[in-house]
A and B are shown apart, each in its own frame.
Chain A
Amino acid sequence: MAAFLLRRIGYGLLTVLGVLFLLFVLFFAVTNPDDIARKAVGERARPEVYAQWKANHGYDKPLFLNKAFAGGDMRRYTDTLLAEHYRRMLTFDFGRSDADDSPIATRLWQGAGPSLSLTVPLFIFGLVAAVALGLFVAFFRETYIDRAVLVLCMLTMSITSLLYIIAGQYLVGKLLNWFPISGFDPNPAVVARFLALPVLVGIVAGIGADVRFLRTVFIEEMSRDYVRTARAKGCGDARVMVRHVLRNALIPILTNIVVAIPFLFTGALLLESFFGIPGLGSLTVEAIQGNDFSTLRTMVYIGALAFILGQILTDISYAIADPRVRLG
């Protein structure tokens, strides 16, 4: 188990290095620091202003190879943007935003709370709802209930999340006026009111695809021989679905769930932006609209880290849940 863990984490680290390289190529090679400086400072500044800005933001070194140093000198390779990039990203030294010069790390900390307060309830309630509905529909497969739910899933899956948000805001916020359309107040007494609508919209938008997937998994398990054995022992329907089907279905489900956990941090971009929740998703959207490459770079990196972490967690949880993997 330990060897497996080590190997897995090692590959994860390798992937991180690969991602950092990709980011570097994207953000430094495809757009060069001069363009970024120009976008930040403006088109008509004097060359010294550009140079100073670049120095401040760490964009003043050459990309891959610093020819100022001789062949044998290590600094030929380490005093470059590439090396700098790696060093800083791996030490989580994110620097400052290109747009307003604020420290990115601070913004990250500030945004994490609101993001989590949205995505965690969204994830948990969404999961519970989808599993319950999935079990229910799988049990009633091939009946009218099943067909009706499938059609519903198909319909709901074909609607863009943008529309869900717009509809949600319009119907519930404007017409029915149950919840505020947007905004956020971290005060625990009122925070639920602001989160209710985005969480609701988020669940409705995603539940169609989830239920279909879960239904397939559950039905697959239900047709297995051990379910027949359980019934032959005298197990009732509920017991069969929960103790046997669900328990076995967990294994393929886990792959999808644990991968999503790190995304709780990166935040639901659209939801946060539309509903005015000052989380990491909003931060990213602001970075896009403000051409803030440095923040964007950091967000993409964080996202990738979260995903890789999720993959590792998935593999581990797989080993825990499936005794065949654990014990060989």
Chain B
Amino acid sequence: MHWVSNAVVLLLVLGAIWLARVVPRERYWRENALELWRRRRVAIAVIAAYLLIGLLDSIAWVDAASEANALTSGRPATIVDRIFKPESLKEASYSAPLASVSFYGGQPLAHPGAHLLGTDLLGRDVVYRTLKGVRVALLIGGLTSLVVIPIALLFGVSAGYWGKRIDDAVFFAMTVLASVPNLLLLIALIMVLGKGTVQVCVALGVTGWVHFCRIARGETLKLREADYVAAARALGVSDAGIIRRHILPNIAHLVIITFALSFTALVLSETILSYLGIGLDGSWGQMIDQARNELSRTPVIWWNLAGASIALFTLVLSVNIIADAMRDVIDPRTRREGR
């Protein structure tokens, strides 16, 4: 269903454009964003690169070229597919990086020296596979969170703001969900729902929802007692107005930081799911899992593991760095100018 994927991408891009127009208008966001850019240019550039690759890998369409493609045959080919033309790079089986002969047997390769990180068991170029994994990772961490956050905010803020019955109900639901160890609940959900992409994302969403909800609820509880909220109420601002103007903006930065951290947690936990056999197809976790066996051979086949690990590590590290920097930027105590 490539048009679904394309539609989602379009929505995301439109959302990004909207953000790019709205953010600079608010001085608080503009200053924080600029400060963040100033401090962590490399990490931001890295993440931007990943986003670009993911984007390129999400826009797909079917045409004569993809029909002929042995790897995609009939499935829509993405831009990444078209750039790499994996079918034309395919080998028989393993080959070392930049080798001209196959790993076992030493037969000459179809494309000697063309594989920067070698090929895997099925002869697929490892660089290509790594790049395809970008989209999967962004899907797991990003898309899931993006869907989960509005729902969690809805429940969390409602519970925190209106309290009493709503709070009791939401808190109980949160407690029940949170009582089951995350991994176990995840596993149970996937076993029950099935092992497809959508199901895994739903499972990740259900388990991740609680974290956001708890934070939203906690912060709303605190903010509800703030003096400026009392002042706003005294001025006659409606509940919706208070939520929109005072509560949401003040939990926004916390939500963003939590989003970044939950992104990394989700991507890392997917690797565990892949090991258990219930992860997403084409993910780095899957590559790492396959690599496990390869390490025990002599001589060791390491390039599959290397490609996936480095890609994963770089992405997670960059997001961690940004999340950390965001926390510093927003906390007034660590900002050096102004007070």
Contacts and interface: CB of A to CB of B under 8 A. Distances in A.
Direct A/B contact, Cβ within 8 angstroms: yes
Interface string B175-204: 111111101110111011100000000000
Interface stretch (A14-22, A73-81, A130-138): A14-22
A288 B180 contact: no
B191 A293 contact: yes
Interface string A246-261: 0000000000000000
Given A15-B175, A15-B176, A161-B272, 6 more contacts: A162-B289, A163-B313, A285-B276, A289-B276, A300-B181, A303-B180
A91 interface: no
Contacts of A155: 317
B276 A166 contact: no
Cβ-closest 9 pairs across A and B = A18-B176, A158-B317, A158-B316, A303-B181, A160-B271, A304-B179, A304-B180, A303-B184, A300-B184
B175 A18 contact: yes
B189 A26 contact: yes
B309 A163 contact: yes
Contact of A30 (B172, B183, B193, B275): B193
A27 B191 CA distance: 9
Interface size band for A: 35 or more
Contacts of A22: 176-177, 180
A300 B291 contact: no
B288 A158 contact: no
Contact of A307 (B181, B295, B313, B321): B181
Interface string A295-325: 0110110011011100100000000000000
Nearest to B278: A288
Interface residues of B, number: 42
A19 B285 contact: no
A158 B313 contact: yes
Contacts of B172: 14-15, 18
Interface string A4-46: 0000000000111011011100110011000000000000000
A124 interface: no
B188 A26 contact: yes
Contact of A163 (B193, B288, B317, B321): B288
A109 B306 CA distance: 40
Given A166-B295, A269-B183, A300 B317 contact: no
A31 B178 CA distance: 22
Given A14-B172, A19-B176, A300 B288 contact: no
Nearest to B264: A158
Q: Is the interface of A mostly helix, strand, loop or mixed?
A: helix
B181 A263 contact: yes
A159 B314 CA distance: 9
26 contacts: A15-B172, A19-B180, A21-B176, A26-B189, A27-B192, A154-B321, A155-B317, A158-B264, A158-B316, A158-B317, A158-B320, A160-B271, A160-B312, A166-B295, A269-B272, A270-B272, A288-B187, A291-B191, A293-B191, A296-B187, A296-B188, A297-B188, A304-B179, A306-B181, A307-B181, A308-B179
Contacts of B249: none
Contacts of A263: 181
B89 interface: no
B73 to A, nearest CB: 29
A158 B267 CA distance: 10
Of B173, B191, B289, B305, most buried by chain A (CB within 10 Å of CB) is B191
Given A162-B272, A163-B309, A288-B278, A157 B320 contact: yes
Contacts of A289: 276-277
Contact of A170 (B175, B189, B193, B295): B295
B268 interface: yes
Contacts of A16: 179
Interface in A111-128: none
A97 interface: no
B292 interface: yes
A26 B288 CA distance: 30
A174 interface: yes
B171 to A, nearest CB: 10
A263 B180 CA distance: 11
Contacts of A293: 191
B211 to A, nearest CB: 14
B288 A162 contact: yes
B63 interface: no
A170 B188 CA distance: 31
Nearest to B300: A170
Contacts of A31: 192
B324 interface: yes
Interface in B288-339: 288-289, 291-292, 295-296, 305, 309, 312-313, 316-317, 320-321, 324
Interface in A143-186: 154-155, 157-163, 166, 170, 174
A281 B116 CA distance: 39
A174 B296 CA distance: 8
Most buried by A among B175, B264, B272: B175
Contacts of A288: 187, 191, 276-278
A273 B296 CA distance: 17
Contacts of B285: 160, 162
Contacts of A154: 317, 320-321, 324
B191 A296 contact: yes
Contacts of B321: 154
B278 A162 contact: no
Contact of A300 (B175, B188, B309): B188
A284 B184 contact: yes
A47 B289 CA distance: 39
Contacts of A158: 264, 313, 316-317, 320
A18 B175 CA distance: 9
